[in-house]
Structure 1
Amino acid sequence: MNIGIFSDVYFPQKNGVSTAVKLYKEEMEKLGHNVYLFIPKYSKDYKRNEKNVFEFPAIKFLFEKEQRIALPISTDIFKIRDLNLDIIHSQDPFSMGIFAEFMSKLLKIKHVGTHHTMYEYYRNYLPLIIRPTLKQTQRVIKNWCLKLDKVISPTKNIKELLVSYGVPDEHIVVIPTGIDTEKFNKKIEWNIKEEYGILPEEKILLFVGRLGPEKNIDFLIKVFHKVSYEEKNVKLIIVGDGVERNKLEELVVELDMHDKVIFTGGQPRERVLDAYKQADLFIFASYTETQGLVVLESMAAGTPVVALGKMGVYDLLNHENAGGIMLKELNEDDFAHEIIRVLKDEKLYEKLSKNAIDFVKKNYSIEVSVNKILNVYKSLLNIDKKKNL
């Protein structure tokens, strides 16, 4: 098949959607498909060395500098018809998603979309004067989904939410974003303990993600403060960057934990994988995840998880033997108790670690996910063929 993937985010931007798009493209190409990626140009200075990627002029989003708003006015538009695309797959409802919808109508090609993000919880990035209400946001999501020929939801929980907005049940298929489990078998090259002067006997708690308010990282820092009273040989490493970084660093100083909490900033993908593999425990308290890709990646590395069980993360950790501890509410004492329990109980730790690896390989490998996506494409193409008979 000739597959067109349209996305407003892609590497070097570091987030779950970028990772998902790259994994989709690589796995589909392994299977012999031609995958063409349509994205905003990140910057004039960034040189991309990847085949079949079309970049469009873009401007920075005023309220979140890492985000781009594409202006699909490139001459590459005229090349799309010559690609003979069989299917279009968009990853968001913004500039490239709108462009994908336009091209699907123009070329009469089926359009699939993945609902990666809980946009309702990101309204705070817009100033009040242009910020939509919750109801307005839900209506926009519903209307966007109805324009698609099929909606892919990463979890059952998110599907139920979309149905509550008015999207028909049969219009949605649940396909989790997969993990490239093979990459977690590679030798560690980034030695975190050596770089940051962490002693061999000290344990590492890890958070990976964008430093935004919806991730509740301030809560995790306060939880870690409680943990450190009982567990002296432990450090918290925060991998990522974002609008909350200065505020979080100030909180660390206020709690007198500047020697125990390490901010690495954003890191290349290879280093992030190394971080998972060297951590003793992954901690996570976001309430906006459609799936929680970082949770899956940690589990793929054999690093147990203690996390808030909301939205997509609930669908992951709600399974028996998933390899993590799920908490229902944001309670500092409960989080701290579970973290300490896992760190102290060696048998429990080993069980969670083994279960985590097995769980991801069995249910969330990129091979399984991409095959399911390809089946969605094929079913839509078969419908078209039957109509033409």
Structure 2
Amino acid sequence: MKIALFTETYLPYINGVVTHVKALHDGLEKLGHEVLVVTVDTHAHHHYIKDGVLYCPAKELKKIYNFGLAAPLSGKRYRMMKHFKPDIIHIHQEFGIGLSGALIAKQLRIPLVYTLHTMYDDYLYYIVPQKMIPLLKRISHRYFKFLAKSANALTGPSKKVQEYFDMCGVNKSVNVVPNPVELDVFNPSSLNREKIASIRAQYGIQPEDTVVCFCGRLGKEKSVDVLLDYWAETVKPDDHLKLMILGGGPSLPELQAQAKALHIEEQVIFTDAIQHEDLPEYYGACQLYVTASLSDTNSISMKEAMATGLPVVHIKDPLNAGQVVDGVNGYIYENAEQMYSIFKKYQAMTPEEKEALTASVINSVKIYGCEALAEYLVGVYEDAKKEKEQKHIKHRRRVKRHG
């Protein structure tokens, strides 16, 4: 098959969607399919193809880091896609490029697959003032409903996507496709031990310290403020516990101020943004991964940490149930005391028990490689083609009856 993947962001930028699309691209090519990624270039003045990527001119949105907005209508883009002759168009984001993909699929009369990666209701505060959020929520729900109705198949990383589409009034079932992880990149056996030692030394981490980390773009929706509150409530200075927050973002200054106000600044490490290629060693410098976020849909950062061997301490989240199984690849908590109890339980384990848990965690993510993701989505593409063909047959019958 020839497959076009439409995404507003792509390499060299890194986020969950980029990681997903890159893994899907690599997996599809390994299976023998031809793939064209369609994305934006805020520095380009014309459309161009380089290394299997169609770059489209776009305006940079300064409010949203590393995000560019392309015009959804472009004759040049349409002609380039017509020349490529895709069998499937798969959109991964919903704005200039995503809408363009939906419109081109309709013009070329080919199946459209739509993956919703983001629970946008949790991110509207980036765009408008608080008092405008209810109105924007209603408008955005209608827009997502339009895109979903245009698609022949819907996918998403967790059951949260089904709930979100239901809330938008979409009467379609969602194929739950868990996010992938680059198993070779985050393989603990390939970590640079000298670099790990250097990271621990850089941040003054002692050999007896247990480091608990979180990784992500620091916005309100990630609930790192909750982690800091819980930490201050329970963790004592002599517990030999450190909290390492990996990542930058708009909330970083206020989180640093919060840690100081809570008098836990000596126990909390803020690294700011970390290059993707450095992440494996940062995870290697830690022992546990913790999150209080309820906005994530099958977090890629969490899975990367698991691939490196870190058990996950996850706040209870019914719609992401099953991703973390108590005692298998991590532990679930509901409040500060339970979170702290898990930390202390881990510290009390013998080296053999920790080693067995690490092996279990790594084993739990082995099913999330890029080829497994591609194989599943090829099945979704085949179903989308059948659904499109059935619609075409029904349309021809209606025309014949009324002709």
What is the TM-score when the length of structure 2 is the normalising length?
A: 0.85
Deviation for aligned residue 1:92: 1.7
AA at the equivalent of 2:34: N
Q: Which is higher, the Rg of structure 1 or of structure 2? A: 2
Residue among 287, 290, 298 paired with 1:291: 298
Deviation for aligned residue 1:110: 0.7
CA contact (8 A) 1:4 1:89 kept: yes
Q: Which runs of 5+ in 1 are unaligned?
A: none
Deviation for aligned residue 1:157: 4.2
- 2:362 maps to 357
Percentage identity across paired residues of the two chains? 27
Q: Which runs of 5+ in 2 are unaligned?
A: 397-403
Q: What is the distance in 2 between the residues matched to 1:275 and 1:43?
A: 32
**Which structure exhibits the higher relative contact order, with contacts defined as CA atoms closer than 8 Å and separated by 6 or more residues?**
2
- 2:63 maps to 63
Q: From the superposition, tell whether residues 303 and 142 of structure 1 become closer, same or farther in structure 2 (CA, over 3 Å).
A: same
CA deviation digits over 1:105-159, x for unaligned, max 9?
1111111011111111111112237533544443433332112111002123432
Q: From the superposition, tell whether residues 354 and 383 of structure 1 become closer, same or farther in structure 2 (CA, over 3 Å).
A: same
Secondary structure, counterpart of 2:340 in structure 1: helix
Residue among 154, 168, 171 paired with 2:171: 168
Secondary structure, counterpart of 1:5 in structure 2: strand
Q: What is the distance in 2 between the residues matched to 1:380 and 1:162?
A: 18
Q: What is the distance in 2 between the residues matched to 1:52 and 1:301?
A: 30
1:21 aligns with 2:21: yes
Q: What is the distance in 2 between the residues matched to 1:198 and 1:43?
A: 42
- 1:339 maps to 343
Q: What is the distance in 2 between the residues matched to 1:267 and 1:49?
A: 29
Matching of residues 47-126 of structure 1 within 5 Å = 51-71=51-71, 73=74, 75-126=76-127
CA contact (8 A) 2:158 2:177 kept: yes
CA deviation digits over 1:165-224, x for unaligned, max 9?
43234x421211222222222522442213334233322111100000010111212333
Q: From the superposition, tell whether residues 76 and 259 of structure 1 become closer, same or farther in structure 2 (CA, over 3 Å).
A: same
- 1:366 maps to 370
Matching of residues 1-389 of structure 1 within 5 Å = 1-43=1-43, 51-71=51-71, 73=74, 75-128=76-129, 130-131=132-133, 132-169=135-172, 171-185=173-187, 187-189=190-192, 190-191=195-196, 192-226=199-233, 228-229=235-236, 231-310=238-317, 313-317=320-324, 319=325, 322-327=328-333, 329=334, 331-346=335-350, 349-361=354-366, 363-383=367-387
CA contact (8 A) 1:288 1:310 kept: no
* Between 71-80 and 246-255, the greater mean CA deviation after superposition: 71-80
CA contact (8 A) 2:78 2:104 kept: no
AA at the equivalent of 1:82: H
CA contact (8 A) 2:283 2:310 kept: yes
What is the TM-score when the length of structure 1 is the normalising length?
A: 0.88
Q: What is the distance in 2 between the residues matched to 1:49 and 1:193?
A: 42
CA deviation digits over 1:15-35, x for unaligned, max 9?
211111111111111222111
Q: CA RMSD in A?
A: 2.7
CA contact (8 A) 1:70 1:95 kept: yes
Q: What is the distance in 2 between the residues matched to 1:175 and 1:52?
A: 24
